[in-house]
Amino acid sequence: MESINVLDSRASEPEDVLIARLCIKFNLITSDQLEQVLQQSLGKSLIYALHDMGYLSEEQVAQILKVRKKTMICSHCQEINVYETLLGRLVCERCHRDLQDSRHMSTTGRRKKYGKYIITREIGQGSVGVVYEAKHLSLNQNVALKVLKNEHITTHIVQRFLREAQMVAQLNHPNIVHVYDSGEEHGVPYIAMEFVKGKPLNKMIQDREISVRRAAEIAKCVAEGLEHAHKHSIIHRDIKPENIMITEDGTPKIADFGLARQISAEESRLTQANTIMGTPLYMSPEQAEGAANITALTDIYSLGVVLYEMLVGRPPFLHSDTMLLLNKIIREQPTPPRNMQGVIPKTLEDICLKAMEKKPEDRFVSAQEMRLSLEQFLKEPVIVPENVTTHKEITKRPPMRQVLSRSAQIPVAQKKSMKELMWGQAESQAQEEQQNDIVFDVVMWGLLLVGLLYLGYRMLHVM
């Protein structure tokens, strides 16, 4: 056990000691092999050093990490105790003493420190990681610290996780969340990113805070960020409102490149055919089909879905069954946004639907082309007024009394202010649609009145 003692003296925390003891307990390595690894892997997590030097397979690494979560070392006799569950009263198998005060060796709980960063609070959780707000020890700078969950710590997942940091570190753009640093703390990888003060786009959509014009502005900024990523041959593959942060000053920032892929022969081997990756509601048809040759145009489609949701209030395709949802994405055409929100300008609807074409070649050829189309739309002086929301007031039809009173107040030609001239066409379009609704309601009320009069007439004659 000399190698264990050497490991004890060099480890700042008992994590590597436990890994070594578990490997020996299950006869995965010998003490001599452990000694050799320790001599050649100073500064590196023991579990990954054992894998990299060929002593542990990927399956064995996963096995050890799984067992580690249900392991305790007796503080009295140092016996390793492995349990099916860590609930209830636990007793050491050797000395039979209570393990209540023993060192709990599971790292499923939150650590207080990762590398140079001190955890302050949890921000949120994803499928494979947890995001914390943390503070850099020497710089006193707040960061968002993304930490991989223990149950997902396998060689492949760690590779993908750290690849995210390496890829996004290449990107420097105001519409992309910056990555500052990455590393490992006792076998747990982490990524230190820019801490964004603001709220995710999905919360803004839920709270109905987005006007038609603002929706176009956000989509334009996201397209600009994607344009920068695509120029570095990086595809995001998971564009959705939850992954778009809006800062306090209103700047959209793309976050979470966890499913991002670098377009190169070396990286393409990590994504296999018939593997569906992404969030179903925002997947492109080719993603839904599990195609291997995913291109940057999949991000264009997903951004089109995000724009659609900002304009209408929901994604174009919905279903509680994931497979049926994917089938709708592959085969069905989305309902045009103007069918649900008539105030949306035709130009903006065309941009949205073009981005969501089923065939990639029918979409915008690049994020740059989509950005330029949105910029051109925003330059047009005649668009929907900024204070008209996409799916708040518009979805509420006014009471009949208000509609009828408005019909009697249709204005005659008047002098218009500069502001009225600027929004004249959009207001005329909205008024025309409103007048159509008024005509329909008046006709319906008229028919009802005629029916009542006729019924009264017949009753009088019967009497």
Amino acid making up residue 265: A
Q: Are 208 and 389 in contact (CB under 8 A)?
A: yes
Phi, psi (degrees; rounded to nearest 5) at 323: -65, -40
What DSSP string runs through 51-101? HHTTSS-HHHHHHHHHHHTTEEE-TTT--EEE-S---S--B-TTT--B-TT
Amino acid making up residue 271: T
Own/partner contacts of 285-294, CB < 8 Å, gap of 24 or more, are: 285/329, 285/330, 285/358, 286/360, 287/237, 288/326, 288/329, 288/330, 289/330, 292/268, 294/235, 294/237, 294/261
Q: Are 290 and 248 in contact (CB under 8 A)?
A: no
d(CA 149, CA 128): 6
CA distances from 47 to 22, 44, 154 (A): 11, 9, 10
Beta partners for residue 127, in sequence order = none
Tokens standing for 132?
Answer: 């914390």
The residues carrying an active-site annotation are 238
Q: Are 191 and 182 in contact (CB under 8 A)?
A: yes
Tokens standing for 201?
Answer: 């786009």
CA distances from 347 to 210, 222, 317, 352, 374 (A): 18, 19, 22, 9, 9
Q: Are 142 and 128 in contact (CB under 8 A)?
A: no
d(CA 252, CA 292): 30
For 396, residues 6+ apart whose C-beta sits below 8 A from its C-beta are none
* Residue 321, Cβ density class (10 Å: 0-12 exposed, 13-18 middle, ≥19 buried): exposed
DSSP, collapsed to helix, strand or coil, labels residue 21 as helix
DSSP, collapsed to helix, strand or coil, labels residue 199 as strand
